Every structure is written in C-alpha cells, then in structure tokens.
Amino acid sequence: MREIYLDNSSTTKPCPEAVEKTAEALTACWGNPSSLHTLGFAAEKLLAHARSAVARSLGCRPAEIYFTSGGTEANNIALLGAAHSRARRGKRIVTTAMEHPSVLNTMKALEKEGFEVVYLQPDHAGCIREGQVREAVTAQTILVSMMAVNNEVGTILPVDAAAGAIAAVQAPALLHVDAVQAYGRLPLNPARQGIDLMTVSAHKIHGPKGAGALYIAGGARLAAPFYGGGQERDIRPGTEPVPAIAGMGAAVEALPPLEEARRHATLLRDRLAALLEPMPEVVVHTPRAADAAAPYILNLSARGVRAETMLHFLAERGIYVSSGSACAKGRQSHVLTAMGLEKREIESALRVSFSRNNTVDDVELFARALREGLDTLAHSR
C-alpha cells in the first residue's frame, strides 16, 4: 500500500544527504570531538562544518551557533538562561498562549520562581496583533518569547513588532524566537531582525532527530543551566552527538531555495483548500493570506468525526496526518482552545503539513479519503 505522509510539522523523512553524512560520522569519524588525536580532529571537523552551514543559513557567525539535542532543549536553555541572567533588572516576561509546550511549561516553572508572565491571546484566526505586543512590552520587560510560525495552525507571529516594541520602550529584554516551524521555510536573519535568541531543529528540515541549534547573538548573555566539561562554550556541555549534528548540517545544505519551497507548498495548500471547499462538514482554521500564515500547514476540522477516529481511518489507508502537536500526545489542543474554537471543532481538528516530498496527487488522495471517512464514520455513529 502506498504511504502518503502529510505530518511534516511533527517530523520529516531524513534526506539522503543527511543519512549519508550521519553514517559517515558513525563509521568513519566516530571519535570524541574533544580528543586531541586524528579521530577527534576528524569529528571536530564535522562539527565545524555543520556549525558553519547553520550559521550561513541564518546570516550569522559560526560562534553564535550552539548545538543542542533539539528544539525543546534549545528553548529551555534560552528561556531559563535569559530570565535568570536578567532577574535583577526586572521580572516581566511576555509570550503568547499558543507557544510550543517546551516554552509554555518553562514559563510555568519561571512563574513559580516569581517571574510575571504575560500570555498574549490569539484571535479566532490564530493571529497575534502587533498592537497586543506593543501594549504588553514595558520598560520592565526582561524577556519576550514568540514563535515565528505556529506549529498547529501555521500562522505567522509578529516577531518584528516584538523587536520594535522592545526598542521603543528601551526595555532590557532579550527577544527569543522559536523558529522550528519557520526554519528552511521563511527568510530568517536574526541579527537583521533584532532577535537575540533563535531556536531551530534538525528533524523538521529532513535531518536526524537528536540535534538542534540555538542562535545566541554576540552581545547576549545567558546564565548557563548545566554544568559539565565545557562543550558548546558551557551553554550545552557534554559530548556532542556528532552523527546527528553532522546530519543536520547536511540537511541544511540540501534545503531548496526558499522561494522554490514556498511556491511548492502554496500549490499543495491551495489545491487542498479547493478540494475541501465543497465539503460542508469541513472548516479550515488556517488563514490563506500570505502575510498571515505559512503555506506549509493547513488546520481543519472534519466536524462530526473525532480526530482520533479519523486518524485511524486514514492510517488504515496509508495516509498520515495529525490532530495537532505531536508533543501534546492526544491532549486537547491549547492553541485551538486559545483561539476560542467550539468544542466540536477542537475535537475533530486535523493538521495537514507539507514538505518538498509531497505531490498534488498526495493531496488529492487525502481529500478523497477524508470525504470517504466523513461519509462512513459520521453515518456509523
């Protein structure tokens, strides 16, 4: 049975370049990159190459890239490190109610330490308004954390407005951006955008799991959350997972041009939206405007059928989508809840997410199976 994978916001299939480089690191360059011998030097060379690749993709210096085990660890390092390093200058933190759990749960921990966290609420379309950001950021704000693209509905958040708001009130805040869903899909240049900290992940761009990176602007200072042997300049000490990092570097270098990728994703999204339009049971939650949402994600509700039931129906036909963030593990979406959606829409919500491996045929087969699922499952209740 042919498999149609439309869950690329959860993870992506590793590209051949990443697989080859990961295997090379496992078999030929398996030394410890801190060791002062030939095998160690070979491993360190792979690390340096990957660091340069990530730096070029973000328009920054290699010294500003710190490797982590993935997006969750990078977010934790950024938020805890920023808050603790600036605690004497204020206690106010601004974020949104639609962030990834690795951000929201870290914010809860900081609240227990006495920090004040302001959660900006999205509107019914999943958008955060620039005015909300300007109103929330005060001269006492020490940290602003905002994702570039929401991982469930694909909306683009006003990161530039956050940078402008910090500058306008001369707040001592660092700006952190979780760019996991934007990396390789939208133009990113943290230094030019006034971003101090940026999180990216390998397995969202056809690289291996177990590697991510945190951009830390040259002038930004973080309180190191871990203690170890000094690797990654004490930001993330411990022996580096060279195979995963090398694979990440190869995946970065294999990324297609941004405009080419955007055109392809837009073609798929628009075709799917057109196929869904005649289905009265289906409501699309992702905005279509180019400045409102990235074209790589389309969130919809197939009303009348619970998401879990529809997921199993589709999976039996070799079609894979999700009901939201993989990290939620089936719990009701906090993003759709924050958007104020009806309970029946939240319970029936599906997320379709595209990559360069998908085709128009994939989209058409998904729409056909969804229609079949609605006819079969809604009538069997």
Helix ranges (H only) for 199-326 are 242-253, 258-276, 307-315
**If one looks up domain 16-254 in CATH, what number appears?**
3.40.640.10
Write down the pLDDT at residue 100. 97
Write down the pLDDT at residue 228. 84
- One DSSP character per residue, 179-198 reads -TTTTTTS---HHHHT-SEE
Strands 141-147 and 92-96: parallel
Among this protein's residues, is 327 annotated catalytic? yes
In single-letter form, the type of residue at position 122 comes to P
How do residues 355-365 score in pLDDT, each as one tens digit?
A: 999 999 999 99
* Distance (Å, whole) CA 163 – CA 174: 9
* Distance (Å, whole) CA 109 – CA 191: 29
Most distant CA atoms of the chain, gap in Å: 68
pTM of the model: 0.95
Q: How confident is residue 36, by pLDDT bands cut at 50, 70 and 90?
A: confident
The full set of domain ranges for the chain reads: 4-12+257-378, 16-254
Q: Please classify residue 322 by burial: count the beta carbons closer than 10 Å to its beta carbon, then call 0-12 exposed, 13-18 middle and 19+ buried.
A: buried
Write down the pLDDT at residue 230. 82
Give which of 93, 1, 57, 10 is closest to 256, Cα–Cα. 57
Helix ranges (H only) for the chain are 16-27, 38-58, 71-85, 101-112, 130-136, 159-169, 190-193, 242-253, 258-276, 307-315, 334-338, 343-347, 360-379
* Distance (Å, whole) CA 166 – CA 82: 15
Catalytic residue, chosen from 15, 29, 127, 327, is 327
Percent of the chain surpassing pLDDT 70: 97
Answer for the pair 17, 251: CB distance below 8 angstroms, yes or no.
yes
Give which of 224, 370, 233 is closest to 304, Cα–Cα. 370
Q: How confident is residue 330, by pLDDT bands cut at 50, 70 and 90?
A: low
The 3-class SS string of 321-369 reads: CECCCHHHCCCCCHHHHHCCCCHHHHHCEEEEECCCCCCHHHHHHHHHH
Residue 147 has pLDDT above 90, yes or no: yes
Q: Is CATH 3.40.50.970 correct for 4-12+257-378?
A: no
- Same topology between domain 4-12+257-378 and domain 16-254: no
Q: How confident is residue 33, by pLDDT bands cut at 50, 70 and 90?
A: confident
Residue 224 has pLDDT above 90, yes or no: no
In single-letter form, the type of residue at position 250 comes to A
How far, in whole angstroms, is CA 42 from its chain's centroid?
Answer: 31
